[in-house]
Amino acid sequence: MEIFALTRDTKRLNLLTTSVSVLVAFLLLMTHQYLSGHKQMQEELQTQAAIVGANSVAALVFDDGKAARESLGTILLNPRILGGAFYLADGSLFIVANDTDRIFPDRIDPRAQNTPPVGKTELQRFTGLLRTEISQDGNRIGSLVLHVSHRQLYLNLLEYAVGLAAIGLVALLLARRFTAGLRNKMALTEGQLEQMALYDRITGLPNRRFFEHELKKAMIRIKREKENAALFLIDVDDFKKVNDLCGHHAGDEVLGMIADRLKKSVRDDDIIARIGGDEFAAILFKVGDPRNVERVAQKMIQAMTEPFPTQPIPSHVGLSIGVTMMPNDSEDPATLIRWSDMAMYAAKAQGKNRAQFFSEEINRKIRNDLQIEAGLRQAIKDPGSGLYVAYQPQVCATTREIVGVEALIRWRQDDGKSVSPGEFIPVAEKTGLIIEIGAWLVGRICRDLAHMRQSGIELPKIAINVSPKEMTRGTAIVGNACLTLTGFGESVERFQFEITENALIDENASDVLKAFHDAGFTLAIDDFGTGYSSLGYLKRFRVSTLKIDQQFVQSLPGDNEDATIVSAVIQMAQALGITVVAEGVETEAQAAFLTEHGCDILQGYHVGRPMPVHELVTFIHGQHTT
Amino acid sequence: MVSFRSSLSRKACAIALLALYLAGAPATASAQPRASEPALKAAIIVNMLMFVDWPQYPGLISNQLRICYLDSSPVAEALNEANGKSIRNKTVQVQKKSIDTLRSCNAIYLSSADQPLLPEVLALVRDQPVLLVSDSPAYLQQGTMLNLDVAAGRIVFDFDLRAARQAKLQVSSKALRLARRIIE
């Protein structure tokens, strides 16, 4: 496995180091052995030569060749000595023995004492000349030159080397034998480590690290083979619920089962990995047409429809899949992962349990969302910023006098461009910024009220929208609002909070709604008729106002069905003592119809557009004068 | 013991003598192509000093080796050449002495002409550590210890060890080995 190439190289390097050290030790031992052997041999020969020399003094002095030859003969018994020659004190040759190769020169330099002369002819291999001086009581008598053989020394060295090698081999074999068990265990552990480093323990799939490595490899391969491939980022929908309901152990088992089902949906060559808590990734090779990719994604999603056998109840999950194509979308693995991720979030945003191909649109949208988020954060921090409140007047249907306003958040950026709430509210909700915006909103309204008070205007009612996301924060939202209002000295009775019908259904909402009520705020149902509420909720949550969604008002008075609905709603509300507000009143005809049928309050462009506070002041003053 | 000569004997001997002189002084006279018999004999006598040990004796100076002779003779002339040379870290002194002044000698050379004085000399040096050297045939029987002779073109020497022992002189076996004849 290439990913461990570095470890293998380290091992090889260690082996090399050990081998080199053993070799060096061997060489050093051999060198030492040679040097000491050589020294020993030299000493031995010198001693023998000295003895013979001493014995031959008289022969040399008295020119007795026979005696000298006898002495020389004894030393030639030594197998290491091949031949010898006596030289007189002046360097001339006296006696020579065994000089078949004719190496002993006729003269030697008498002054070069103990330095062997150069041979007359070339010496045999592994032989050399040795010279000893002969003297008696301080008088130099002559020299003895010996032709010696080093063969035995080299044979000894060879024997020694072979011996060392043999011993080394035996030691190695024994050591290996004894450590075999340990080494096997090591290998096993290393294998396990490798496994742990690369594979996810719970599912047995490759882990994130391994996957990233495989992705890089895949990119190289497809570029080289000119194939294409697809990258999936798969997020398991609602996996948290499985853990919460059945416990983490069951959750792990479910992950394992998900992994198996995913693997069955792809080919053997394809790669499935677990890269996060409930996140998987897949690389599909040689996919050809994107439609094949779509098919595989659907196969995966389909595989999840069958429930997982968990206790106490079976679990259901879905998959949100983000898809990028390689190399079409990008050749950079990091970019591919990022874009698949974006596509996956898009899939989630669109309702989960689906696959979404990455497109430039998604990229642009996500980038845009990020920009909006950044801008919003900045705007909230900066009081004099582009965030402001627009107020849409609500008038009494009969008197057409202003009875209240709906406060709507607006955002004009530094460059003058307005960002519509439709664009930034979803971003705020997704990022949780909506909470801060809600808090900011209350404060800003209070400031505007103070401003209007200075112009002599007291608004009877201010309606504020509450998003479902804010509701999830719990009763804190109520507490914060009360705090702000008290801080500004405003009374809670004038404030009305508008929530959508669907918010009523959410079980968590009931606590918050009760808190609103207990604090003294009134509640209004926004966009009534578009959601899932039951009429029972209206009573349960003591709703004080109902706002008929504009889709019903649009077609008034012509459309009979809508007319009937509107009329019915008004009657019902009146019967329950609930105020009715009609939204989206744009024509006088609509206004007339509504007034005729008992609607209490009108809101819409016909009445007045949402306007910033100073425009509202003008509007109200204008009303009073007419 | 009889030793065989090598064919280079004469030349070798001359060179040995030359080497001896060279060992003593760096600048010496050039060697003669052919050494004379007295010169060779003198060389042997002087060389022999290397192989003889003298005991302590009043009159003998420890760092000298005194060779004395009575009358001039060819060999005595040759012996003079060795005067001052270093043998065994001792200086060789060659002196002519009369029979009256014959004392403190390590060795005395008696030539054939000294025949009449032989008994007197023998009596004088009896039991003293003096090496009596001669080169006359009968002298060995008459009491000298080392006698040189010529045989087959070579200078050879004979030893009378009894006489040497009597004079408390030690002769190295190295030299004895090369002697022609040893009387014990």
A501 versus A580: which is more confidently predicted? A580
What pLDDT shows up at residue B139? 83
d(CA B126, CA A612): 161
Q: What is the mean pLDDT of residues B120-130?
A: 88
* Torsion sign, CA atoms A384, A389, A390, A391: negative
Does A483 lie in the same domain as A342?
Answer: no
Interface residue B1 vs chain A (CB under 8 A): no
* Torsion sign, CA atoms A173, A178, A180, A183: negative
Task: For residue A192, count other CB atoms closer than 10 A to its CB.
Answer: 10
In Å, how far is B89's CA from the nearest CA of chain A? 7
CATH, residue A339: 3.30.70.270
Does some domain include residue A212?
A: yes
Does A545 lie in the same domain as A441?
Answer: yes
Nearest to B159 by CA among B172, B145, B138: B145
d(CA A287, CA A583): 52
Chain B positions touching A106 (Cβ under 8 A) are none
Domain count, chain A: 3
Look up the pTM and report it. Answer: 0.48
Task: For residue A536, count other CB atoms closer than 10 A to its CB.
Answer: 9
Note whether B88 contacts A138, CB cutoff 8 Å.
yes
The beta-carbon neighbor of A63 closest among B16, B18, B177 is B16
User: How many percent of chain A have pLDDT more than 70?
Assistant: 98
Residue A38 has pLDDT above 70, yes or no: yes
Does A6 lie in the same domain as A59?
Answer: yes
In Å, how far is B116's CA from the nearest CA of chain A? 31
Residue A626 has pLDDT above 80, yes or no: no
What pLDDT shows up at residue B13? 59
The answer to whether B129 and B52 have CB atoms below 8 angstroms apart is: no
The answer to whether A144 and A134 have CB atoms below 8 angstroms apart is: yes
d(CA B144, CA B69): 14
CATH: 3.40.50, 3.30.70, 3.40.30, 3.30.1300. Which one for B9-183? 3.40.50
The beta-carbon neighbor of A92 closest among B15, B23, B89 is B15
Does some domain include residue A57?
A: yes
Chain A positions touching B50 (Cβ under 8 A) are 57, 61, 136-137, 139
What pLDDT shows up at residue A3? 61
Does some domain include residue A533?
A: yes
Residues 157-176 of chain B whose Cβ lies under 8 A from any Cβ of chain A: 172, 174-175
Residue A270 has pLDDT above 90, yes or no: yes
Chain B positions touching A138 (Cβ under 8 A) are 86, 88-89
d(CA A99, CA B31): 29
In Å, how far is B87's CA from the nearest CA of chain A? 7
CATH, residue A10: 3.30.450.20
Chain A positions touching B8 (Cβ under 8 A) are 65
What pLDDT shows up at residue B33? 44
Does A461 lie in the same domain as A354?
Answer: no
d(CA A124, CA A395): 131
Does A406 lie in the same domain as A280?
Answer: no
- Residues 6+ positions from A261 with CB-CB distance below 8 Å: A300, A303, A304
Instruction: For A64, name the nearest residue in chain B, comparing CA atoms only.
Output: B5
Does some domain include residue A561?
A: yes
Give the domain ranges of chain B.
9-183
d(CA B115, CA B144): 12
d(CA B66, CA B87): 11
In Å, how far is B16's CA from the nearest CA of chain A? 7
Does A546 lie in the same domain as A458?
Answer: yes
Instruction: For B17, name the nearest residue in chain A, comparing CA atoms only.
Output: A61
Q: Token digits for A445?
A: 């309204």
The ipTM assigned to this model is: 0.73
Does some domain include residue A11?
A: yes
Note whether A58 contacts B22, CB cutoff 8 Å.
no
A604 versus B8: which is more confidently predicted? A604
Nearest to A150 by CA among A128, A132, A131, A130: A128
- The domain containing residue A271 runs over which residues? 208-358
In Å, how far is B123's CA from the nearest CA of chain A? 31
Does some domain include residue A170?
A: no
Domain boundary among A132, A153, A174: A153
* A interface test, pick of B15, B65, B88, B174 with most A CB neighbours within 10 Å: B174
Does some domain include residue A136?
A: yes
Q: Which of A179-188, A218-227, A379-388, A392-401 has the lowest mean pLDDT?
A: A379-388
In Å, how far is B108's CA from the nearest CA of chain A? 20
> What is chain A's Cα-based Rg?
52
Which residues of chain A approach chain B closer than 8 Å at the C-beta?
A: 55, 57-67, 88-90, 92, 94-95, 136-140
Does A457 lie in the same domain as A348?
Answer: no
What pLDDT shows up at residue B24? 46
Does A605 lie in the same domain as A465?
Answer: yes
Q: What is the mean pLDDT of residues A351-364?
A: 85
pLDDT band (50, 70, 90) for residue B145: very high
Does A530 lie in the same domain as A390?
Answer: yes
Note whether A62 contacts B47, CB cutoff 8 Å.
yes
Q: Compute the count of residue pairs across chains A and B with CB atoms less than 8 Å apart.
A: 70
Residue A282 has pLDDT above 50, yes or no: yes
Does A382 lie in the same domain as A311?
Answer: no
Note whether B178 contacts A64, CB cutoff 8 Å.
yes
d(CA B8, CA A11): 76
Does A385 lie in the same domain as A507?
Answer: yes
Alpha helices, DSSP H, located in B25-117: 37-48, 74-80
Interface residue B91 vs chain A (CB under 8 A): no
Note whether B22 contacts A62, CB cutoff 8 Å.
no
pLDDT band (50, 70, 90) for residue B10: low
Q: Which amino acid is at B125?
A: V
Q: Which of A35-44, A410-419, A567-576, B148-157 has the lowest mean pLDDT?
A: A410-419
Does A288 lie in the same domain as A148?
Answer: no
Q: Token digits for A413?
A: 């950026």
What pLDDT shows up at residue B17? 59
